[in-house]
Amino acid sequence: MKLQRRKTTQFKIGNVGIGSDFPISVQSMTTTKTRDAEATLAQIYEIAANGADIVRVTCNEVEAAEGLVEITERSPVPIVADIHFQYKLALAAIDAGVNGLRLNPGNIRKESQIKEVAKAALGQNIPIRIGVNGGSLDKDLLEKYGDATPEALVESALKELRYLEDVGFYDIKISVKHSNVPMMIESYRLLAEKVKYPLHLGVTEAGPLPGGLIKSTAGISTLLNEGIGDTIRFSLTTNPIEEAKSGRQLLEYLELRERNSLDLIACPSCGRAEVDVIKVAEEAQDALNKENIPLQVAVMGCVVNGPGEARSADLGIAAGKNKGHLFIRGEVVRVVEEKDMVSSLLNEARLIVEEGIDARLAAAEDNAAEIAQKDINDLLNSQGDINKFLERKKSVVEITSNQDND
């Protein structure tokens, strides 16, 4: 089922469309010193190669603005300058050729300065993100609300928004990030009711893995499933490459972007498993990731249920008696030796990418299904009801059929 996105205004950051008529885009941020243009560009290329559509860089000093001159010219993706405290650095970043600005209302508060930046951006067709953050909220709003509440964050955004609109500036994106996931969700819901501008989603200061990843996914995916959100960032305390990968994968898993990376699924293993599922899954994931295979691939512990349970996967392998059963969309296409399971899976994945699923189904070995069925029968005969399904089903029936004593 396709998600119905909230309708918003539209604009572009460089060549990336922003708004409800465009795909949701992934953003990350460099951790290098922007004044070191070569190091920053190297990281930008890595981030972009791992799924980021837009990259934000800090512009915290004059030397950083100087670095942006070269960075913006050579970057493979649009560059957004992150501005704090000094509005003149925003003006310098515009002059350096950035594709977008992020302004923090919590530390650039003078109306005249904000409007001066907006006028300069308007003259160069450079969009602005109003980046409200629960950790750097205007002191007046903190006093008014007592904390960084959703209402406080939204009021901060709306105040800044009025300054921009006063000078005829409308290429605006807004974020109201919070480190508390429920607060973050409620802030965006409240903001979405009040404006038609695109929204940039993120849980600020989410922290290191795995907690930061879980918090970011919880907050961002909740809102995306409600149709809220036009760009996203996973703010993780780790290499920004992981931010880009995680953001891209989330959009792919929600079917909001076309898959261009691996989606590996695997059974949790059970008594019927004929191989070490965890080991095989890890080896398969490493091998497939190295070649950036854009397929959904399944690793299943046994051939009895594996191909059927994972029949929606593009490709999979299920273990039999000392064998691996390669299947495509639930149909067994060939049987390989157990030691060759991962290499055979990788080879078939390459062929699917080159030739397509239909062609590989047509190339199935004639007796593959027959061999698979024989292995299934052998396993059932040798293992019996190894997971005690029949016994447990009988127990469930007895529990539900017992008469109440009351």
Residues 242 and 332 in one domain: no
Average pLDDT over residues 288-310: 85
Residues 116 and 83 in one domain: yes
- Tokens (6 digits) for 72: 């913006």
pTM surpassing 0.85? Answer: no
Give the pLDDT confidence score for residue 261 in this predicted structure: 82
- Out of 205, 222, 253, a domain closes at 253
Residues 15 and 144 in one domain: yes
- Is the separation of the CB atoms in 88 and 57 below 8 Å? no
Determine the structural domain holding residue 35 and report its residue range: 11-253
Average pLDDT over residues 245-268: 89
Residues 25 and 108 in one domain: yes
Residues 157 and 279 in one domain: no
Total domain count for the chain?
A: 2
In DSSP notation, 359-393 reads HHHHT--TTHHHHHHHHHHHHHHHH-STT-HHHHH
In DSSP notation, 36-60 reads -HHHHHHHHHHHHHTT-SEEEEE--
Confirm whether 334 is domain-assigned. Answer: yes
Percent of the chain with pLDDT over 90: 72
Residues 230 and 114 in one domain: yes
Residues 307 and 368 in one domain: yes
Residues 6+ apart with CB under 8 A from 267: 273, 277, 299, 300, 301, 306, 309, 310
Residues 174 and 94 in one domain: yes
Residues 138 and 204 in one domain: yes
Residues 88 and 148 in one domain: yes
Give the pLDDT confidence score for residue 32 in this predicted structure: 96
pLDDT digits (tens, 9 = 90+) for 382-392: 766 556 655 76
Confirm whether 404 is domain-assigned. Answer: no
Q: How would you class 6 by CB atoms within 10 Å of its CB: exposed for 0-12, middle for 13-18, buried for 19 or more?
A: middle
Phi, psi (rounded to 5 degrees) for 206: -65, -30
Instruction: Flag the least confident range among 29-43, 231-245, 274-288, 299-313.
Output: 299-313
List the one residue out of 402, 272, 251, 282 whose CA is nearest residue 345: 282
- Is the separation of the CB atoms in 206 and 212 below 8 Å? yes
Residues 79 and 168 in one domain: yes
Confirm whether 2 is domain-assigned. Answer: no
Does pLDDT of 393 surpass 70? Answer: no
Confirm whether 168 is domain-assigned. Answer: yes
